């Protein structure tokens, strides 16, 4: 009996083990089917990707073929572009650096010109006043010379009108070459004004606000043919390489003309706050700008003066303020444009101003 029971249990255990093995095989079969399905999905995805790559490859082949066909043409175009760039670069380098260079090349008409300064790296539109040497020649020969006169900008016509003045109103003998709408400026007997003058400041009609920020004075603002400031960066770039003369012409509210000329005019870089160097005065306005000599430039948002107060904020405009000023050509139009007459010990209230520079014909100061 016992042996029979043990044989029965042995068969039962074998059957159970067999069932367990079959169950495991079934489970593995299920997992294998799932993996097969996943692999089939991956294969389909890869087949789709291969199809897309084949299409893309055909497109690339087509474009590559086109590029190979156009390569010689593209090379020729690239060569032409390079040549054109070189020509443009040469043209830029040959653009005059100031109005005097335009004058040397034969230009004799006042107006706006493009000049190029390597230090700035771009061209800039500037106003030039050309004073012909024929005026001085006519003056010395006594022919074709009008009476003493002063030119005043007509903002509407952009020409210069003439207004008579007496000899007591100028420091030296001045003559004007008068033609209808000739836009000619004046010259003097010794021919020292002949040439091309670069206008760096002009106030004629109050169309431009001169109480602006440091950055605006750095870049420049306004219209070169009307009211404008050429820009401190520009003025520095022009005057830093060689000695320049400064010519200031002013008309007061009584239509009298005042002049101040300086043999030396230079403005330092922004790192030095555009510091002014001016010397060698002559004229009839007295040397008011001397008070600003060696001063840094100040604006409404940059106080570089020697005063306890903020001169630019109080007086308006940007200028080489000290404590505070005896000249200010950039103050509020008309009421704030002033020049102190040291001889008359009186303020000159101005209605128009113009500041011009030109390379000095004297020895360059180092």
Of 135 and 11, which is predicted with more confidence? 11
Give the model's confidence band at 128: pLDDT under 50 very low, under 70 low, under 90 confident, else very high.
very high
Expressed in angstroms, the distance from the first to the final Cα of the chain is 133
Could you write out the three-class secondary structure of the chain?
CHHHHHHHHHHHHHHHHHHHHHHHHHHHHHHHHHHHHHHHHHHHHHHHHHHHHHHHHHHHHHHHHHHHHHHHHHHHHHHHHHHHHHHHHHHHHHCCCCHHHHHHCCCCCCEEEEEEECCCCEEEEEEEEEECHHHHHHHHHCCCCCCCEEEEEECCCCEEEEEECCHHHCCCCEEECCCCCCCCCEEECCCCCCEEEEEEEEECCCCCCCCCCHHHHHHCEECCCCCEECCHHHHHHHHCCCCEEEEEEEEECCCCEEEEEEEEEEECCHHHCCCEEEEEEEECCCCCHHHHCCCCCEECCECCCCCCCCHHHHHCCCECCCCCCCEECCCCCCCCCEEEECCCCEEEEEEEEEEEEEECCCCCCC
Lowest mean pLDDT among 87-91, 214-218, 260-264: 87-91
List, in order, residues 6 or more apart from 359 with CB less than 8 Å away: 98, 100, 242, 243, 244, 245
For tokens 């230079």, the residue is 266
Give the model's confidence band at 4: pLDDT under 50 very low, under 70 low, under 90 confident, else very high.
low
Please report the pLDDT score of residue 35 as a whole number. Answer: 74
pLDDT at 141 over 50: no
**What CA–CA distance (Å, rounded) separates 85 from 77?**
12
**What CA–CA distance (Å, rounded) separates 98 from 196?**
8
Q: What is the pLDDT of residues 150-163, one digit of tens each?
A: 243 333 333 333 33
- Phi/psi for 4 (5° steps) reads -65, -40
Average pLDDT, the chain: 78
Of 53 and 104, which is predicted with more confidence? 104
Please report the pLDDT score of residue 166 as a whole number. Answer: 30
Please report the pLDDT score of residue 40 as a whole number. Answer: 75
236, exposed or middle or buried, with CB in 10 Å at 0-12, 13-18, 19+? buried
Q: Domain limits of the chain? A: 44-94, 97-133+186-359
User: Mean pLDDT, to the nearest integer, of 177-190?
Assistant: 36
pLDDT at 145 over 90: no
Q: What is the pLDDT of residues 263-304, one digit of tens each?
A: 999 999 999 999 999 999 999 999 999 999 999 999 999 999
Please report the pLDDT score of residue 330 as a whole number. Answer: 98
Give the model's confidence band at 55: pLDDT under 50 very low, under 70 low, under 90 confident, else very high.
confident
User: Mean pLDDT, to the nearest integer, of 341-351?
Assistant: 95
Of 200 and 52, which is predicted with more confidence? 200
Q: Tell me: domain 97-133+186-359, CATH 3.90.215.10, correct? A: yes
User: 355 and 327 in contact (C-beta within 8 Å)?
Assistant: no
Please report the pLDDT score of residue 110 as a whole number. Answer: 96
């Amino acid at each position: 009996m016992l042996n029979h029971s043990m044989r029965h249990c042995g068969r039962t255990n074998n059957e159970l083990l067999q069932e367990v093995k079959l169950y495991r095989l079934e489970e593995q079969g299920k997992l294998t089917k799932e993996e097969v399905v996943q692999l089939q999905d991956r294969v389909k995805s890869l087949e789709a990707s291969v199809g897309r790559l084949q299409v893309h490859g055909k497109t690339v082949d087509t474009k590559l073929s086109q590029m190979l066909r156009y390569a010689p043409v593209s090379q020729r175009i690239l060569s032409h572009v390079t040549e054109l760039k070189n020509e443009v670069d040469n043209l830029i380098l040959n653009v005059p650096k100031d109005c005097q260079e335009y004058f040397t090349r034969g230009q004799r008409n006042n107006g706006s010109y493009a000049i190029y300064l390597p230090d700035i790296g771009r061209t800039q539109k500037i106003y030039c006043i050309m004073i012909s040497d024929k005026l001085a020649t006519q003056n010395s020969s006594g022919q074709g010379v009008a009476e003493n006169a002063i030119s005043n900008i007509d903002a509407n016509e952009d020409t210069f009108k003439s207004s008579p003045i007496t000899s007591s109103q100028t420091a030296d003998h001045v003559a004007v070459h008068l033609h209808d709408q000739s836009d000619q400026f004046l010259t003097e007997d010794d021919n020292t004004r002949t040439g091309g003058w670069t206008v760096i400041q002009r106030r004629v009609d109050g169309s431009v606000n001169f109480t602006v920020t440091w950055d605006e004075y750095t870049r420049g603002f306004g219209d070169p043919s009307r009211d404008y400031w050429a820009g401190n960066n520009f003025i520095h770039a022009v005057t830093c390489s060689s000695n320049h003369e400064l010519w200031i012409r002013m008309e007061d509210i009584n239509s009298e003309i005042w002049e101040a000329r300086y043999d030396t005019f230079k403005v330092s870089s922004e790192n030095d706050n555009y510091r002014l160097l001016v010397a060698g005065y002559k004229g009839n306005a007295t040397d008011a700008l001397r008070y600003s000599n060696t001063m840094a430039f100040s604006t409404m948002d940059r106080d570089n003066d020697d005063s306890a107060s903020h001169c630019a904020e109080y007086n308006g405009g940007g200028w080489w303020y000290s404590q505070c000023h005896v000249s200010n050509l950039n103050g509020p139009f008309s009421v704030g444009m002033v020049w102190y007459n040291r001889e008359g010990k009186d303020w000159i209230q101005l209605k128009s101003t113009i500041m011009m520079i030109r390379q000095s014909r004297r020895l360059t100061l180092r």
